[in-house]
Chains A and B, each alone.
Chain A
């Protein structure tokens, strides 16, 4: 399995993680992650809970800084950017949080409008409202525009948060566990929204998940994070057919194999 698809080996990646290491206290979470995201592709990062998937994408938006290694976004090292430069890079990225992270005292419409109020002073109120309506329609949330986050379901919150994440037309969209905690029907709806958003906005996307159904549906490429490193990467078909025992145990969900053996050994120590 190649880390970079042949068709993209000549292209410049939009995001590149080079040997990223990160520890919290004595716990080493990332031990040298290498990853690339190319134009218009959807890369899915899979791995067990607590394996560092969310930490990995938080490095991309500069919420975390690596202890070692580099995170290049649009060709620039995020750790070396000034606050203003980092904010400019962030405006070209959208991020969907696992918890949705909508502001509870604002309606869904106001939440989606917030980035426009902040960064598009050139737009009139009617232009802003039109843009908000467009994005809410894209995620099928027009009917809930006037509701508060506390009045809608988890799946609707995720869609509303996605509308907010894409309202400035980002080139890169990052999704942190977009289907976790949702029933299978709503989870598949979210998958469709992710796939449609990527196509409509021609955005590059990184989806972090442990939901393999979701990974196969939305991913052009899948990378598996295990013990702080990317241990396998390839197309969904390549991942399905790999002989790597850790990947096989993870995607089949078998209770027996190297992942559980490793856990048992850790617990004994």
Chain B
């Protein structure tokens, strides 16, 4: 019993410490945004934009097109029984724009880019490269975290738009081929259902998720200790924590915008 209480206490202590480090890192990095004016930081930002955006497009495309197809296929089964298969366009468009687009994009980015951030910074930490930057009076938050944070904050919403569009396109193909809904009807229903609120809440979620993935990945990397095992643990923790935060924050953003009357 005492051992269990001790372990729980240690877990809470470590989690609080990690959360504090992440929030402090976010606050510190936000204050340094102005330094992006320097050319060599802009070059680092472009490099990160490429890594976060361009390199993840193929996997995002495959996941999003099949997500849209699955939503259409499943939704169509029930709607067809009611003779309402034409509404597939509405359901898929709202789901993709409001929830599935940002959610799927964030999960892919957390697994691919967030984990890579933790592994890269973790390796730099254990091989003393972070210490070397400190000694050269180069702040790691500015040199390493800032370009990653900005790149994720920009590219997650951009990729979310792409995910949603490709997913809706996949759904249109399934609606047409499986349920006989014409592309024109699908488009009309989709546009009728879509509101500005759906779009901006989806993009806001994506923006928040992007920041969460970058901060979690970088903070886990910068807190790495213990050689190769430590890098592995930091990478795993970065993915797990990002997933949990994406799901929890996603719920609360939806709740705030769609359940609370403003």
Contacts and interface: CB of A to CB of B under 8 A. Distances in A.
Do A and B bind?
A: yes
A88 B18 CA distance: 29
Interface in A113-140: 114-115, 117-119
B136 A90 contact: yes
A185 B23 CA distance: 49
Contacts of B10: none
B133 to A, nearest CB: 8
A160 to B, nearest CB: 12
A93 B137 CA distance: 10
B128 A99 contact: yes
Contact of A118 (B129, B131, B132, B136): B136
B250 to A, nearest CB: 33
A101 B131 contact: yes
B128 A97 contact: yes
Q: How large is the interface on B (under 10, 10 to 19, 20 to 34, 35 or more residues)?
A: 10 to 19
B138 A93 contact: no
B138 A63 contact: no
Given A99-B127, A101-B127, A115 B132 contact: no
A95 B132 contact: yes
A95 B135 CA distance: 7
Contacts of A182: none
Interface in A45-63: 58, 61, 63
Given A101-B127, A101-B129, A61 B135 contact: yes
Nearest to B132: A101
Interface in B104-136: 124, 127-129, 131-132, 134-136
Contacts of A99: 127-128
Given A99-B127, A99-B128, A101-B128, A115 B134 contact: no
A87 interface: yes
Nearest to B124: A103
Interface string B5-36: 00000000000000000000000000000000
Contact of B40 (A90, A95, A117, A119): A117
Contacts of A115: 136, 138
B137 A87 contact: yes
A161 B131 CA distance: 13
Interface string A143-183: 00000000000000000010010000000000000000000
Contact of A93 (B124, B132, B135): B135
A91 B131 contact: no
Nearest to B40: A117
A102 B128 CA distance: 9
B131 A63 contact: yes
Contacts of A63: 131, 134-135
A109 B20 CA distance: 37
Nearest to A101: B132
Nearest to A93: B135
Contacts of B127: 99, 101
Nearest to A83: B139
Given A99-B127, A99-B128, A118 B135 contact: no
Contacts of B131: 58, 63, 97, 101
A87 B129 CA distance: 17
Nearest to B135: A95
B129 A90 contact: no
Contact of A91 (B128, B129, B137): B137
A61 B132 CA distance: 11
Contacts of A114: 136, 138
Given A97-B131, A102-B132, 11 more contacts: A63-B134, A90-B136, A95-B135, A97-B128, A99-B127, A101-B127, A101-B131, A101-B132, A118-B137, A161-B132, A164-B136
Interface of A: 58, 61, 63, 87-88, 90-91, 93, 95, 97-99, 101-104, 114-115, 117-119, 161, 164
14 contacts: A63-B134, A88-B137, A95-B132, A98-B128, A99-B127, A99-B128, A101-B131, A102-B129, A102-B132, A104-B129, A115-B136, A117-B38, A118-B138, A164-B136
